[in-house]
């Protein structure tokens, strides 16, 4: 059993030192707002490994918990207990029920003397939900090549032909919502036929009773991934955990300790052999720099909104055999600016439209739905938006600012996508970022003589 210093988590083969949600004696202090980061690191480095439950352990416990309840002849009582092999497999709930007996003899009588029966073999469930393979996904070629290599390396590690230290530790996938970051991780697991363990880092933040509950949920995902290795551990919404450099207010202490605990888990590379970690973020600039340094996430890869060709592939994948002969290229052109998730939602809406009208699903329904969400801006506004975005890109490419990699109209405006690089924190980098943000309006003033009152898309200046 592995006991964390902030909470004991009993397993079926271990001895419960203390009830859940209370700190075990001798395990260290409960986290509080006054702890420093060094204290937290030391606290989470303290672990206690205990042997499985045995007769000696149980007798020592009963001498304290049930003193004087029976004439205590240890030799005869020992023979009345199940053998160590059986006690070591005792279910924790069954053990708790037995310990509720008022006498030591009653405890012994309630404990089973045979190992638990093995459950009938069940069909092995799929290790990841059905879906496209990595090769079929419309993602950047460099990302597909890198993840394909990861899959091959994990299988080579499983076969014993590749040492674990030679394999990349993890990758951070960056991009706007709905571009397929989660599906990319699942596709890697499908293609390599390995387990996929998903954990949202934002789940429970600010709602858990204490820090140990938040970190315990993530540690459970790490433990499951290690148990099913080779596997993909998918940590979603890494940008939700905060940044210690900018953290302020009443939650800053919690955020600092949470990030320190997460760093400890990510640093356990040697202890998580066969587990490749994939993180995701919509806003990488909000992530604590320590989380994304080399050694935790070796590669930062961007997934942008799909272009026309990728949108046609996404339409074909979601439509399947429906609507044969449909002009997917025309629909893809109309859908430019949409994400893969948007396309899937549009197809569902079109099918619902057909059902509501008691009509057979047809291309016209899909055209109607996509046309309703597609931009219908006048040419003058389209030109202004294009000039605005070009201003961002030109200035960013000339100054110390992440290089622009894509400019695109979206369903609600336009956006300029920049390379995912770390902020060096220099004055030149700060000035470059500020200049690039202001360059959109400057371009409007230079080319059109005036600045529009506002930008339709809140992401345009990001």
What is the rounded CA–CA span in Å between residue 304 and residue 176?
A: 7
User: Which residues are known to be catalytic?
Assistant: 389
b (16+ CB within 10 A) / e for 315-351: bebebeeebeebebeebbebbbbbbbebbbbbbebbe
Q: What is the pTM of this model?
A: 0.60
Q: Which residues of 364-402 are buried (b: 16+ CB within 10 A; e: fewer)?
A: ebbbebbeebbbeeeeeeeebbebbbbbbbebbeebbbb
Question: Looking at the structure, do residues 250 and 389 belong to the same domain, yes or no?
Answer: no
pLDDT at 187 over 50: yes
Based on the fold, state whether residues 366 and 401 are members of the same structural domain: no
Pairing of strands 275-281, 231-236: parallel
**Based on the domain organization, do 355 and 316 belong to the same domain?**
yes
Q: Is residue 26 part of a domain?
A: no
Looking at the fold, whether 324 and 406 belong to one and the same domain comes out as no
Residue among 209, 199, 215 at smallest CA distance from 258: 215
How confident is the model over 369-409, as pLDDT tens digits? 886 655 566 788 888 988 999 999 999 888 877 788 777 77
* Confidence grade of residue 56 (pLDDT, cut at 50, 70, 90): confident
Same domain, 103 and 220: no
Of 284, 302, 320, the one marking the end of a domain is 302
Rounded to whole angstroms, the Cα distance separating 169 from 274 reads: 10
Do 337 and 418 share a structural domain?
A: no
Query: What is the total count of domains within the chain?
Result: 4
Neighbours of 139 (CB within 10 A): 24
CB burial of residue 447 (10 Å; 0-12, 13-18, 19+): middle
Supply the pLDDT for residue 10.
38
C-alpha 287: how far from chain center: 14
For residues 161 and 294, membership in a common domain is answered with yes
Sheet with 275-281, strands from edge to edge, namely 195-200, 231-236, 275-281, 170-174, 299-302
Give me the pLDDT at residue 354, please. 92
Length, in residues, of the chain:
462
Is the pLDDT at 427 greater than 70? The verdict is yes
Nearest by Cα to 180 from 283, 16, 314:
314
Q: CB of 167 within 8 A of CB of 130? A: no
Q: Does residue 158 sit in the same domain as residue 198?
A: yes
CATH number of the domain encompassing residue 327: 1.10.8.60
Give a yes or no: residue 173 inside a domain: yes
pLDDT bin (cut points 50, 70, 90) of residue 25 is very low
Please choose, from the candidates 377, 450, 447, 445, the residue with its C-alpha nearest in 3D space to the C-alpha of residue 414.
377
How far apart CA 231 and CA 194 sit, in angstroms, is 5
pLDDT band with cut points at 50, 70 and 90 for residue 208: low
Domain boundary, last residue among 302, 335, 363: 302
Report the distance separating Cα 60 and Cα 219, nearest Å.
31
122-155 pLDDT, tens digit per residue, is 444 456 778 888 888 888 888 899 999 999 999 9
- On whether residue 126 sits in a domain, the answer given is no
Mean pLDDT of 91-97: 78
pLDDT tens digits, one per residue of 61-87:
888 888 776 655 677 778 888 888 888
Instruction: For residue 386, tell me if it sits in a domain.
Output: yes
Distances from the Cα of 62 to the Cα of 9, 56, 65, 71, 328, angstroms? 21, 10, 5, 13, 73
**19 pLDDT tier (thresholds 50, 70, 90):** very low
Question: 359 and 414 in one domain?
Answer: no
Is residue 71 in a domain?
yes
Query: Residue 11 domain-assigned?
Result: no
Domain assignment of residue 83, given as a range: 55-110
Q: Are residues 245 and 188 in the same domain?
A: yes
Domain at 293, CATH number: 3.40.50.300
Mean pLDDT, range 358-370, rounded to an integer: 90
Give the strand pairing for 299-302 and 2-3: unpaired
Region 426-446: mean pLDDT is 89
User: Rounded to 5 degrees, what are φ and ψ at 348?
Assistant: -65, -40
Among candidate residues 373, 389, 408, the one where a domain is terminated: 373
> Do 96 and 160 share a domain, yes or no?
no
Same domain, 296 and 313: no
How is residue 287 annotated by DSSP? S
Do the domain assignments include residue 312? yes
How far apart, in Å, are the Cα atoms of 413 and each of 433, 446, 452, 460? 21, 21, 14, 7
CA distances from residue 216 to 8, 221, 237, 318 in whole angstroms, order as listed: 10, 9, 17, 37
Identify the pLDDT of residue 443: 93
**pLDDT tens per residue across span 107-122:** 888 888 777 665 554 4
């Amino acid at each position: 059993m592995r006991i964390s210093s902030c909470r004991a988590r009993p397993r079926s083969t271990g001895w419960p030192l203390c009830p859940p949600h209370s700190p075990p004696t001798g395990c260290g202090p409960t986290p509080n707002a006054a702890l420093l980061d060094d204290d937290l690191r030391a606290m989470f480095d303290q672990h206690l490994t205990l042997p499985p439950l045995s007769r000696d352990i149980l007798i020592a416990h009963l001498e304290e918990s049930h003193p004087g309840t029976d004439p205590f002849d240890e030799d005869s009582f020992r023979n009345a207990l199940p053998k160590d092999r059986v006690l070591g497999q005792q279910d924790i709930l069954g053990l708790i029920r037995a310990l509720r007996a008022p006498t030591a003899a009653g405890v012994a009588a309630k404990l089973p003397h045979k190992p638990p029966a093995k459950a009938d073999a069940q069909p092995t469930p799929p290790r990841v939900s059905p879906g496209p393979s990595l090769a079929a996904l419309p993602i950047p070629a460099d990302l597909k090549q890198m993840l394909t290599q990861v899959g091959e390396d994990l299988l080579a590690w499983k076969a014993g032909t590749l040492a674990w230290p030679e394999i990349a530790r993890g990758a951070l996938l960056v991009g706007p919502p709905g571009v397929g970051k989660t599906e990319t991780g699942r596709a890697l697991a499908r293609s390599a036929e390995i387990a996929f363990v998903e954990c949202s880092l934002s789940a429970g933040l600010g709602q858990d009773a204490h820090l140990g509950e938040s970190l315990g949920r993530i540690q459970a995902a790490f433990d499951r991934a290690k148990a099913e290795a080779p596997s993909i551990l998918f940590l979603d919404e890494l940008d939700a955990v905060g940044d210690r450099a900018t953290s302020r207010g009443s939650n800053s202490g919690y955020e600092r300790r949470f990030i320190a605990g997460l760093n400890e888990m990510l640093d356990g590379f040697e202890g998580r052999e066969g587990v490749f970690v994939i993180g995701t973020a919509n806003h990488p600039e909000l992530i604590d720099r320590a989380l994304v340094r080399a050694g935790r996430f070796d590669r930062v890869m961007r997934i942008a909104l799909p272009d026309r060709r990728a949108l046609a592939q996404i339409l074909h994948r979601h439509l399947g055999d429906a609507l044969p002969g449909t002009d997917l290229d025309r629909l893809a052109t109309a859908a430019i600016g949409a994400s893969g998730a948007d396309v899937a939602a549009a197809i569902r809406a079109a099918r619902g439209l057909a059902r509501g009208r008691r009509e057979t699903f047809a291309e016209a329904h899909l055209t109607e739905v996509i046309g309703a969400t597609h931009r219908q801006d006048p040419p003058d506004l389209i030109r202004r938006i294009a000039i605005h975005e070009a201003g961002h890109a030109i200035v960013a490419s000339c100054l110390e600012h992440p290089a622009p990699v894509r400019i695109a109209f979206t369903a609600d405006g336009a956006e300029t996508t920049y390379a995912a690089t770390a902020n060096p924190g220099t004055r030149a980098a700060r000035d470059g970022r500020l200049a690039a943000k202001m360059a959109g309006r400057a371009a409007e003033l230079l080319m059109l003589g005036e600045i529009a009152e506002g930008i339709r898309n809140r992401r345009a200046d990001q």
